[in-house]
Amino acid sequence: MSRKLPPLNWLRAFEASARSQSFTQAAAELNLTQAAISKQVKLLEHYLSEQLFIRNPRSLELTKTGEAYLPKVRDCFDRLAAGTDEVFGRRRSEMLTIRCMVGFSINWLAPRLPRFMARHPGVIIRIITSVWGDEFDKEHFDFDIRYGTGKWPGLNARRLTWETITPVCSPALLQGDAAIRRPEDLAKHALLHVLGYEEGWGLWLRAAGVGRDIDTGRGLHFDTSLMAFEVAAKGGGIALGRSSMTGEDLATGRLAAPFELAVPIDEAFHLVTPPEETSHPDAALFRDWLLEESELAFGPRRPT
């Protein structure tokens, strides 16, 4: 629903005139003529069908209506100024900006970020999420966390995760007469796929010895792991979980892994930078911390 609001320049003229009690001083503040300020206030009064000022020979005086309206206008300007400062107040160069795939940012990075902030409380970080990474844009972010084989021409990639894949589902599907007990039982359920992953259900089913018995293309397809896990948790099918993404859901019992078979894969999440590296003063702090967290989670870095 559209909001019927007076033009912003009329409100600025009113607020400045009320604060200074002078059209002349308001004009000097807003870099306009006295006649322009007076006209804008008149237009506002006409728009509101109310007189806002008593115009004395050498000064202005707010009417009762003007006195009531002024705090509302000031509050709006204060909120607008605070919001603008919050979003745009710091120069881009002052923020360390990381683009990260949405599932990894929520399931892996977010639980660990408080440790970075506790260690480096003065560092300002901005995290923007992506579904599948576009080209690296060094004008808008310093690091990119991508999923793949680590081979992106013209970019440096440091591997962060060593993944295995295994089916995950609602704990309810492990109970009752139709409980999932053997890989063959997956044929009775919808398989949940995530677009963009090269290594998926076909790889796991072959490793489980049922690759020829189950149609790997059937089921539901999503563009994020988050959606697939949500549907799986609600009993809508079986998702294929990557080890870096399912730890918390498995630990809390929101998801369950019906089989012990976890198949190693080559794809992983990587910290990606341009060849010349970023010049941001806090970049090394974040990079070293992230690689340290990677080693804590997956062990010492291995040759790739």
Which is higher by pLDDT, 43 or 87?
43
Check whether residue 187 and residue 256 sit in a common domain: yes
Quick: pLDDT tens for 209-227.
998 888 888 899 998 999 9
Picking from 58, 88, 118, the residue at the C-terminal end of a domain is 88
CATH of the domain at 84: 1.10.10.10
Q: Does residue 1 belong to any structural domain of this protein?
A: no
Check whether residue 97 and residue 135 sit in a common domain: yes
Check whether residue 47 and residue 132 sit in a common domain: no
Picking from 72, 88, 104, the residue at the C-terminal end of a domain is 88
How many distinct structural domains can be found in the chain? Answer: 3
Q: How confident is the model at residue 167, as a pLDDT? A: 97
What is the b/e burial string over 110-126, where b = at least 16 CB atoms within 10 angstroms of the residue's CB?
Answer: eeeeeebeeeeeebeee
**Within its chain, how far is the Cα of 4 from the centroid?**
32
State what percent of residues in the chain have pLDDT above 70.
92
Q: Does residue 304 belong to any structural domain of this protein?
A: no
Check whether residue 155 and residue 285 sit in a common domain: yes
Task: For residue 245, give its domain range.
Answer: 164-264
Check whether residue 243 and residue 216 sit in a common domain: yes
Check whether residue 129 and residue 271 sit in a common domain: yes
Check whether residue 222 and residue 153 sit in a common domain: no
Check whether residue 175 and residue 133 sit in a common domain: no
Rounded alpha-carbon distances, angstroms, from residue 218 to 12, 186, 201, 238, 271: 60, 11, 10, 12, 33
Check whether residue 152 and residue 271 sit in a common domain: yes
pLDDT of 279 above 80: no
Q: Does residue 112 belong to any structural domain of this protein?
A: yes
pLDDT of 93 above 60: no
Check whether residue 101 and residue 35 sit in a common domain: no
Check whether residue 156 and residue 179 sit in a common domain: no
Q: Once rounded to an integer, what is the mean pLDDT over residues 74-82?
A: 88
Check whether residue 204 and residue 233 sit in a common domain: yes
Picking from 31, 58, 88, the residue at the C-terminal end of a domain is 88
Q: Does residue 249 belong to any structural domain of this protein?
A: yes
Q: Does residue 131 belong to any structural domain of this protein?
A: yes
CATH of the domain at 257: 3.40.190.10
Nearest to 229 by CA among 244, 241, 219: 241
Q: Once rounded to an integer, what is the mean pLDDT over residues 244-254?
A: 94
Q: How confident is the model at residue 133, as a pLDDT? A: 57
pLDDT of 56 above 50: yes
